[in-house]
Structure 1
Amino acid sequence: MSLAEGRIPVLDIAPTLAGEPAAAEALAERVARTCEDTGFLVLSGHGIDPALPAGCFEAAARFFALPEEVKLSLKVGALNIGFLPTGAQVIRTSRVAEVKKPNLNESFYIIRDRGPDHPDILAGKPFVAPNRWPPGLPGFREATLAYFTAMEALALRLLPVVSMALGMPRDYLAGDFRDPACTLRLIRYQPQPEPEEGRFGFAPHIDTNLITFLAQSALPGLEVRTREGEWLRPPAIPGTFVVNTAEMLGRYSNNRFAPTPHRVVNAANEMRYAIPFFFGPDNDAVIRPVPSCVSAENPACYEPLLYEDHRRKLNQANFAHRQAPAEV
């Protein structure tokens, strides 16, 4: 494995967030160049209080240390909210590997927090339900939601940069992100010091949202596949975020920003934790290639896609519990 230096750049976004003249435009150019290559970058100067990801990592460790029967009482249903045990996810949609073995990790999913009497829940809106909070784990809900809220706010502040990277006005994507579909996934990867053919902490895959933010983990494991087929590791700089493009940005860009496959292999002799934050469009958004990425010479590769339909199809393909009727 070669070094990722140069292929996965470290970008300081502080000038953009501070509103310095021309900073957003310059950042958009750097983002576009990276998205045309690996689709991965590292963000510094983001302004997120270090205590927030640290608190979320600590909350994840406390949750996964709970007895198995407690975790299983919070097991996910049709909407992937709550606990996903080891062995429950096989990446059948991988484009770069034939995956037959389940991921060697366990997860806990958190979405936007709504009470049972929230209007969206009472109206039966798709992919909306109360979170499943573990009992007897003080501070868990507060720590994870604080991190969720901060990451959603950062993603929304960077959305104009994504629009400009696509060659569109800075507010172009705003209409599809009035109520963005966001998910915080807490993950614990089991040790895998001895490689096993076809078995991964997380098998090669692309993310299915717009962009993903990943706080730097204490242990290495994330690997990124270049267009040449080489696997790279992003720069491991404490306090930064690894950010990658996902499938919906590929659609908006008409494949100009094709999402990059990535995988996780925990070669350490201890548990590895990750807290990816997935930022996607509104469930009722219709995703179309943007005008700047379509021409007579480069016609649209995609028909309009309702994001809700996309999410439903992917969940049914990759999760064992979706193969049969399940509770929320």
Structure 2
Amino acid sequence: MNTIPSVDLREFLSEDHGKKKKFIREIGDAYEEIGFVALKGHFLSEQLVEDLYAEIKKFFALPEAVKKKYEIEGIGGQRGYTSFGKEHAKGRKEGDLKEFWHFGQYVEDNPVLEAQYPPNVMVEELPRFNEVGKETYRMLEKTARYVLRALALHLELEEQYFDKWIKNGNSILRPIHYPPITSEPENAIRAAAHGDINLITLLMGAHGKGLQVQNHKGEWIDAIAQPDELMINVGDMLSRHTNNRLKSTIHQVVNPPRELWGTSRYSIPFFMHPVSEMPLDCLENCIDEKHPKLYEDITAGEFLHERLIELGLIKA
């Protein structure tokens, strides 16, 4: 597969049984083949997208000293600001050429989880920043819920199988700024080759060249979405849970050609995480003689902790 398939969520949401089955088949096949789709028909309005980009551009343009006061120690970068070059891909020492912000879960009806998660960080200088971030978080979480329902049906599970695990899950909305490149990077790129940790990732801002996906032949192919599409990929948690039936594909964000070094790039992934208690044990119906069990049993919380250590965001 040398292109990223495009699917339309409105088919799954329609009353037409044939269209719903078509969506389930197309997204399931894509995730078994390459692990990525471009999705139309999501719940983000054009206005909300415009508002979010406006707010995050204002934030990343703030003086360094102002941004630094929102970098919270001791929480592994799970909320607020993470400064340039601090995160690196698993197995690499060089920091990625990016800075980013984290919006986290807005917990409903669960005081225990509310106490466990770090609170969201309020930006005093930008009165609409947190409001717009929260609304975007909600709409991406809603989109992700329906994608996972389609995947549950593809896996011959009950349609709402994932619902209880993702309600109040430890999901993260991460606006990223890749600043202009001012000198020849020494063995560093904007985001080194990696797989995502979580169940699925919904990416805003993959409209220009930069994001690349590795296909089964080891070739890098450009992943470019249309302006009305989100790029959505399988993360390691879902791959593990399905005994690698659904593929968590290695991807990267490469540096632009030298003539574009002076430009910033923004992208906004939403990392859909379940609650920590979710067992990631390989599903029984994804194991057979041809597909023996590949992974040890582990919870989502244990797996996340291991990976944050590998990424350099928390200490062992």
Give the alignment's TM-score, normalised by structure 2.
0.90
SS in 2 for 1:275: strand
- Mapping of residues 6-155 of structure 1, within 5 Å: 7-77=3-73, 78-79=75-76, 80-93=78-91, 99-113=92-106, 119-120=111-112, 124-125=115-116, 128-155=117-144
Are residues 1:232 and 2:221 paired? Answer: yes
> How many residue pairs are counted as aligned between the two chains?
310
- RMSD after superposition: 2.3
Q: Quickly say closer, same or farther: Cα 1:36–1:121, change in 2 above 3 A.
A: closer
1:33 partner letter: D
Pick aligned residue for 1:160 from 149, 157, 161: 149
The answer on whether the counterparts of 1:213 and 1:241 sit within 8 Å (CA) in structure 2 is yes
* Whole-Å separation in 1 of the counterparts to 2:145 and 2:136: 14
* Whole-Å separation in 2 of the counterparts to 1:89 and 1:47: 30
In structure 2, list runs of 5 or more residues that go unmatched.
none
* Whole-Å separation in 1 of the counterparts to 2:113 and 2:297: 27
Q: Quickly say closer, same or farther: Cα 1:74–1:41, change in 2 above 3 A.
A: same
The answer on whether the counterparts of 2:194 and 2:252 sit within 8 Å (CA) in structure 1 is yes
* Whole-Å separation in 2 of the counterparts to 1:136 and 1:100: 34
The answer on whether the counterparts of 2:96 and 2:190 sit within 8 Å (CA) in structure 1 is yes
The answer on whether the counterparts of 1:105 and 1:190 sit within 8 Å (CA) in structure 2 is yes
Q: Quickly say closer, same or farther: Cα 1:285–1:109, change in 2 above 3 A.
A: same
1:46 partner letter: H
- Mapping of residues 239-250 of structure 1, within 5 Å: 239-250=228-239
Greater RCO (CA < 8 Å, at least 6 residues apart): 1
2:90 partner letter: R
In structure 1, list runs of 5 or more residues that go unmatched.
94-98
Pick aligned residue for 2:197 from 201, 208, 228: 208
CA offsets per residue over residues 75-107 of structure 1, 9 Å max, x none? 1332421110012112134xxxxx221100000
SS in 1 for 2:112: helix
Q: Look up the match of 2:177.
A: 188
Following TM superposition, by how much is the alpha carbon of 1:218 offset from its aligned partner in structure 2, in angstroms? 5.4
1:272 partner letter: R
Pick which of 17-26 and 39-48 moved more: 17-26
Find runs of 4+ consecutive structure 1 residues off by over 6 angstroms.
Answer: none
Give the alignment's TM-score, normalised by structure 1.
0.87
The answer on whether the counterparts of 2:174 and 2:270 sit within 8 Å (CA) in structure 1 is yes
SS in 2 for 1:130: coil
* Whole-Å separation in 2 of the counterparts to 1:193 and 1:226: 31
* Whole-Å separation in 2 of the counterparts to 1:55 and 1:291: 44
Q: Look up the match of 1:308.
A: 301
* Whole-Å separation in 2 of the counterparts to 1:141 and 1:61: 13
Pick aligned residue for 2:266 from 273, 286, 290: 273
* Whole-Å separation in 2 of the counterparts to 1:24 and 1:289: 26
CA offsets per residue over residues 268-295 of structure 1, 9 Å max, x none? 3211011111112112111121222112
Are residues 1:299 and 2:292 paired? Answer: yes
Are residues 1:317 and 2:302 paired? Answer: no
* Whole-Å separation in 2 of the counterparts to 1:266 and 1:193: 12
The answer on whether the counterparts of 1:254 and 1:302 sit within 8 Å (CA) in structure 2 is yes
Q: Quickly say closer, same or farther: Cα 1:199–1:236, change in 2 above 3 A.
A: same
Pick which of 214-223 and 130-139 moved more: 214-223
Q: Quickly say closer, same or farther: Cα 1:101–1:28, change in 2 above 3 A.
A: same
